């Protein structure tokens, strides 16, 4: 029972769903398609999931998974995720500002 609980939380397939990676090295299941990944993030955003909001910001920053590159929109998503308590979003905003100043 303990092993099953651990695998549900830590198994790489959960990472594959989140990041859209290839096959899981343990169970060989495929990762989520880009459309399913975006749909999943949209549902999680509507529910107020700060990590999903941050990840949408990452998609806008890099211009991937069907999102056009838009730094301003990415910063808005990072701030929204930070306001919901996801500290990594504030760290990302700080890193972007430092990068912009150094250019």
Confidence of residue 43 (pLDDT cuts 50, 70, 90): confident
Q: Output the pTM of the full model.
A: 0.67
The total of other beta-carbon atoms located within 10 Å of residue 6's CB is 10
- CA–CA separation, 25 vs 12, rounded Å? 8
pLDDT of residue 73 exceeding 90, the answer is: yes
- CA–CA separation, 48 vs 29, rounded Å? 28
The answer to whether 20 and 29 have CB atoms below 8 angstroms apart is no
Give the DSSP per-residue string, 89-102.
HHHHHHHHHHHHHH
Q: What share of the chain has pLDDT > 70, as a percent? A: 66
- CA–CA separation, 80 vs 44, rounded Å? 14
Looking at residue 78, its pLDDT comes to 95
| Residue bearing the bigger pLDDT, 15 or 84 | 84
Looking at residue 63, its pLDDT comes to 87
Looking at residue 45, its pLDDT comes to 87
Main-chain phi, psi angles of 13, to 5 degrees: -60, -35
């Amino acid at each position: 029972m303990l092993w099953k609980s651990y695998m549900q939380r830590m198994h790489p397939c959960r990472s594959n769903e989140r990041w859209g990676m290839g096959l899981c090295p343990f169970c060989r299941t495929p990762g989520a398609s880009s459309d399913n990944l975006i749909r999943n993030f949209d549902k999680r955003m509507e529910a107020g999931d700060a990590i999903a909001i941050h990840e949408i910001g990452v998609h806008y920053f890099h211009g991937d998974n069907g999102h056009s590159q838009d730094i301003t929109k990415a910063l808005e998503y990072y701030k929204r995720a930070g306001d919901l308590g996801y500290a990594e979003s504030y760290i990302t905003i700080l890193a972007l500002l430092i990068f912009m100043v150094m250019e």
